[in-house]
Amino acid sequence: MSSVRKPKRLRDMVEAKRVHIKTFGCQMNVYDSERIAEALAPIGFTQTNRPDDADLIVLNTCHIREKAAEKVYSELGRLRQLKSARQAEGKRTTIAVAGCVAQAEGAEIIRRSPVVDIVVGPQSYHRLPDLLFRAFQEGRRVVDTEFPDEDKFAHLPPRGKRQSCTAFITVQEGCDKFCTFCVVPYTRGIEVSRPVAAIVAEAERLVAGGVREITLLGQNVNAYHGEGPDGRTWSLARLLARLAEIEGLERLRYTTSHPRDMSADLIAAHGDNPKLMPYLHLPVQAGSDRVLAAMNRRHTARDYIELVERIRAARPDIALSSDIIVGFPGETDEDFEATLALVREVEFAQAFSFKYSPRPGTPAAKLDEQIDEAVKAERLARLQALLNEQQQKFNRHAVGRTMPVLFEKPGRNDGQIVGRSPYLQAVHAKGERRLIGQLREVEISAAERNSLSGVIKTTPDRGMTVAMGV
Ligand code: 5AD
Ligand code: SF4
Are both 125 and 211 inside the same structural domain? no
Are both 187 and 224 inside the same structural domain? yes
Which residue, of 112, 144, 176, is where some domain finishes?
A: 144
Domain residues for the domain of 330 are: 152-396
Which residue, of 123, 144, 165, is where some domain finishes?
A: 144
Which residue has the least CA distance to atom 17 on ligand 1?
323
Whole-angstrom CA distances from 315 to 177, 236, 266, 280, 283 are 27, 17, 12, 11, 18
CA of 27 to the centre of ligand 1 (A): 14
Amino acid at the residue 160: G
Q: Which residue from 30, 64, 322 has its CB within 8 A of the most atoms of ligand 1, so it is best to mutate?
A: 64
Report pLDDT for 375.
Answer: 97
Report pLDDT for 14.
Answer: 52
Residue 325: how many CB atoms within 10 A of its CB? 28
List of residues 6+ apart from 189 with CB closer than 8 A = 123, 147, 173, 174
The atom number, within ligand 1, closest to the CA of 352 reads 17
Whether the CB of 285 sits within 6 Å of ligand 2: no
CA distance linking residue 257 with residue 299, whole number of Å: 13
Ligand closest to 284 (CA) is 1
Q: How many CA atoms lie within 13 A of 445 on its CB side?
A: 9
Ligand closest to 299 (CA) is 2
CA of 184 to the centre of ligand 1 (A): 9
181, 359 in Cβ contact below 8 A?
A: yes
CATH number of the domain where residue 342 is located = 3.80.30.20
Report pLDDT for 165.
Answer: 96
Structural domains of the chain, count: 3
Ligand closest to 324 (CA) is 1
Q: Which residues form ligand 1's pocket by a CB distance below 6 Å?
A: 64-65, 181-182, 283, 285, 323, 325, 354, 356-357, 359
Q: Which letter does DSSP use for residue 181 in this model?
A: T
CA distance linking residue 363 with residue 329, whole number of Å: 11
CATH number of the domain where residue 61 is located = 3.40.50.12160
Which residue has the least CA distance to atom 5 on ligand 2?
177
Alpha helices in 245-372 (DSSP H): 264-272, 289-294, 301-314, 333-346
Residues of the chain with pLDDT under 50: 1-8, 10-11, 461-470
Q: Quick one: CA torsion of 271, 274, 280, 282, rounded to 10 degrees?
A: -50
Are both 423 and 378 inside the same structural domain? no
Residue 408: how many CB atoms within 10 A of its CB? 19
Q: Which residue from 181, 280, 362, 373 has its CB within 8 A of the most atoms of ligand 1, so it is best to mutate?
A: 181
Distance of CA 85 to the CA centre of its chain: 34
Report pLDDT for 1.
Answer: 35
CA of 184 to the centre of ligand 2 (A): 6
pLDDT digits (tens, 9 = 90+) for 146-155: 887 788 888 8
Q: Which residue from 65, 261, 282, 387 has its CB within 8 A of the most atoms of ligand 1, so it is best to mutate?
A: 65
Which phi-psi region, left, alpha or beta, contains residue 440 (left: φ > 0; alpha: ψ -120 to 50)?
beta
CA distance linking residue 14 with residue 42, whole number of Å: 9
Are both 65 and 193 inside the same structural domain? no
Are both 186 and 321 inside the same structural domain? yes
